[in-house]
Amino acid sequence: MRAENSPDSLASESASQQMNMMEKYLQYTTAIGITLRPMTAAHNTRYDTRSLAHTNWLTISQGLHTSGHKPKSGDLPIDWNMYVHPEGTVYYINTGEVIPVVTDTPVCHPTALKKLEEGVGAVWDCMNNSQTSIPNNSELYIYAEPNAEECKYYLIYHDSQTEFWLENTEMSSLYMPPVSSEAHLKFILQEHY
C-alpha cells in the first residue's frame, strides 16, 4: 500500500479539508458580521413564552378554518407566509428558497429580516462549501437573535425525522445528554423532531 493512501493520510487529508472549510466559513461569517450557531428544537424560544390567552368575542370570517382561508399577515416580505402554531405562537415559512426556511423571527421588522437574510445566506454558503449533500426532504430552521449578531439554526431531514448541522457539533454544546452509540444518538435527535 502506498503511503498517500494509508488510513492515517486519508484521515489527515479529511481533517485538513474540514479545517479549510471551517476557515472559509469563519472568514465569510466574520465578513458579514453574522455568526451561525447550532441549536436544537428543544432550545427554540417558542417554548419559553409564558403568555396567557386573552379571550374576546370575535366576528367569524367567511370561510374560517377552510383551505381557502388565509390568516391576515400584515405586510410580509415576498415568499414568506405566516402561520400559527397549535400552541399559539406565530412562525413564518419561506418556500421560495433552496429548501424551506422556517423561523420565529418577526420577518415584518426590517432589521430582524435583514439579520435573518444574512444568516440564511451564510447557511447557503456553508451548504455550497460543505462536503455533505443536503437531502431533498430537508428544512432549515433559523432564528436571528435580537440582541446579538448571530443566528441559531438546525436542519431537519423529514425522512429520518432527525436534526443535523453543517459542521461537526459537540453534543455538550447543545446541552444533550451523553449517548452510548450513534443509534442511541439518532433517538435523541428524533426526540426533537
User: Any bridge partners for residue 93, and if so which?
Assistant: 81, 102
pLDDT at 2: 45
Q: Taking the complete model, does pTM exceed 0.75, yes or no? A: no
Instruction: Return the SS3 of 113.
Output: helix
Judge whether 152 and 142 are in contact, CB under 8 Å.
yes
Question: What does residue 127 show for φ and ψ, rounded to 5 degrees?
Answer: -60, -40
The string over 12-49, giving b where at least 16 C-beta atoms fall within 10 Å of a residue's C-beta and e elsewhere, is eeeeeeeeebeeebeebbeeeebbbbbbbeeebeeeee
Q: In degrees, to the nearest 5, what angle opens at C-alpha 189 toward C-alphas 187 and 193? A: 105
Q: What is the mean pLDDT of the chain?
A: 78
Residue type, 87: E
Judge whether 176 and 40 are in contact, CB under 8 Å.
yes
Which value, to the nearest 10 degrees, does the dihedral of the CA atoms of residues 141, 164, 138, 26 take?
70
pLDDT-wise least confident of 17-31, 63-77, 133-147, 173-187: 17-31
Averaged over 65-90, what is the pLDDT? 75
List Cα–Cα distances, 69 to 63, 76, 103, 108, 135, in angstroms: 6, 17, 22, 21, 32
Q: Who has greater pLDDT, 116 or 44?
A: 116
pLDDT at 37: 83
Is pLDDT at 48 greater than 70 in this prediction?
no
Q: Can you tell me which residue has the cell 459537540? A: 170
- Phi-psi bin for 136: left (phi > 0), alpha (psi -120 to 50), beta? alpha
Q: Who has greater pLDDT, 157 or 45?
A: 157
Query: Other CB atoms closer than 10 Å to residue 135's CB: what's the count?
Result: 14
What is the secondary structure of 112-126 as a DSSP string?
HHHHHHHHHHHHHHH
Query: What are the residue boundaries of the structural domains of the chain, listed by start?
Result: 10-45+74-191
